[in-house]
Amino acid sequence: MVRVIDYTQCMAWEFETDHEFQQQLDWMNEVVRSQIWPLEPFAADLAPEQLDRAFEGVKGEAKERGLWAAHLPPELGGSGFGQVRLGLMQEILGTSALAPMAFGCQPPDSGNSEILALAGTDAQKQAYLFPLLDGRLRSGFSMTEPNTAGSDPTTLATRAVRDGNDYVIDGHKWFTTNASVADFLIVMAVTDPDTEPHRRASMFLVDAGTPGLEVVRDIPTMAEPAVHSGHLNAHCEVVYSGVRVPASALLGGEGDGFAIAQQRLGPGRIHHCMRWLGQARRAFDMLCERATYRQTHGKVLGEHQTVQNWIADSLAEMTAARLMTLNAAWIMDTHGAAAARQEIAMIKYFGAKVLHDVIDRAVQAHGALGFSTDMPLEQMYRSARAARIYDGPDEVHRQSVARRVLRGYKPPANGVPSEYVPARRADGLQRFADLLDLAAINR
């Protein structure tokens, strides 16, 4: 059976940003390019405190404009923007890894603030959320483990065992971003290994320096092979050995870990994809600039058909990914996160491929220069590879999409394809016999 889509139920969507918010976006675009991009060449040499000072002016104006921590509701210090507006902001901030820090929406702090807003008690919000939003605390999210599949979080092995008024956490984590500079971590640990898989785990707040908490190392990665210990955005290996936390450190209820994580991941994936588009556009601009002046075989690159194809394909792919992502954001805004699951899964793997392919073409157009560290492209290329892994690998999202699509189909009753031409012809001859007889007579 072929699935029929009822387009009469689709709402109109304006492909336009209101004038007032567009002015905000224009300001963001200008300030990111003029005040944040110039910091990039030596940002690795700056301590977190120095970066904070460099961002002070931008942070102050972002707060005055209502653009600070815009992913949170006004009562928690944000602007309460929907996902479409947040996505448009993230597209600009995604052009630089530094930019989200100047607007209070840098991962993992932004996702952790959403968790605290969703599941935190009043006391937890006072102790962790508000200082986090003010920039007085830094956080990490500790879920991925070296010995269990990150694509299947139901297999988590880290345990949190109730002991009187406390929980005792034991386990081994890695890729806990910011653990070496964080003031606290949000840890996913199994509290009931015998219940249904998606009710096994819970989330806990663990302060840095708690006895038994050991940050083993900052992990060298493909994106950052030279580790600068104690710097922001490093991915860390962490061991929990008898880490004792009070019962008040539990976020939500026991077994709520997966449900809370899903609430965090939906918007987070939209923001990832829009940030990727910002990165892709920056690489695209470098590709197009290169095509205007680099000479080969008697003409500039932009006059060669292959390079023209790279430019045309890149623009089409970025446009498609942008529309897909904003559509997912619009569905989330109008119908809720659950209604956007398929669209979010599609943008995750499609957007990751677009990011990689556009950067790859830009590297190729620059040749040896693109391969060198004299251009930002090689670092962008290395970082882009991780997009196919984190927040769920491409394969898992493709599987999820295919399963959802196939729910709308069923096998034909007689085992013959619905569009099988001999069967359709026989059916048509029978249904339109009178018409065919009349046509024969009129000949």
Three-class SS state of 17: coil
State the chain's mean pLDDT as an integer. Answer: 91
Least confident of 313-327, 346-360, 386-400: 386-400
189 pLDDT above the threshold of 60: yes
pLDDT score recorded for residue 4: 46
**In which band, very low, low, confident or very high, does the pLDDT at 339 lie, cut at 50, 70 and 90?**
very high
pLDDT at 392 over 90: no
Q: What does the DSSP assignment read for 174-238?
A: EEEETTTT-SEEEEEEES-TTS-GGGSEEEEEEETT-TTEEEEEEPP-SS--S--TT-TT-EEEE
* pLDDT tops 60 at residue 3: no
- So what's the pLDDT on residue 9? 46
Instruction: Compute the average pLDDT of residues 319-326.
Output: 97
Q: What is the pLDDT of residue 159?
A: 98
Under 8 Å between Cβ of 209 and 280: no
Half-sphere exposure of 39 (CA within 13 A, CB side): 25
Residues 91-115, mean pLDDT to the nearest whole number: 93
Domains of the chain: 17-120 (1.10.540.10), 139-251 (2.40.110.10), 258-406 (1.20.140.10)
Residue 443 is predicted with a pLDDT of 59
> What's the rounded Cα separation, in Å, for the pair 140 and 41?
25
**Shortest CA distance to 236 belongs to which of 213, 215, 208?**
215
Higher pLDDT among residues 130 and 443, named by residue: 130
The percent of residues above 70 in pLDDT, for the chain, comes to 95
**Please, which pLDDT band fits residue 7 given cuts at 50, 70 and 90?**
very low
Q: Beta partners for 218?
A: 236
Please give the pLDDT value at position 12.
Answer: 56
Contact 260, 203 (CB under 8 A): yes
Q: What percent of the chain has pLDDT over 90?
A: 77
Tokens standing for 283? 């690489």
Q: Is 238 exposed, middle or buried (0-12, 13-18, 19+ CB in 10 A)?
A: buried
**What confidence tens digit (pLDDT) does each residue in 225-250 have?**
887 677 788 899 999 999 999 999 99
Reduced to 3 states (helix: H, G, I; strand: E, B; else coil), residue 140 is strand
pTM above 0.75, yes or no: yes
Q: Is residue 265 within 8 Å of residue 328, measured between CB atoms?
A: no
- 433, HSE (Cβ side, Cα atoms, 13 Å): 4
Q: What is the pLDDT of residues 246-301, one digit of tens each?
A: 999 999 999 999 999 888 788 889 999 999 999 999 999 999 999 999 999 999 99
| Bridge partners, 236 (sequence order) | 176, 218
Other beta carbons less than 10 A from residue 417's beta carbon: 11
Q: Which long-range contacts (CB under 8 A, 24 or more apart) does 58-67 make?
A: 58/31, 58/102, 58/103, 59/102, 59/103, 59/104, 59/135, 61/31, 62/102, 62/103, 62/104, 65/24, 65/27, 67/24, 67/28, 67/103
Closest CA to 216 of 255, 273, 186, 176: 176
User: What local confidence, expressed as pLDDT, does residue 8 receive?
Assistant: 42
Mean pLDDT for 325-329 is 95
Instruction: Indicate whether 141 pLDDT > 80.
Output: yes
DSSP 153-177: GGG---EEEEETTEEEEEEEEEEEE
- State mean pLDDT over 385-407: 94
pLDDT band at 1 (very low <50, low <70, confident <90, very high): very low
- pLDDT at position 152 is 84
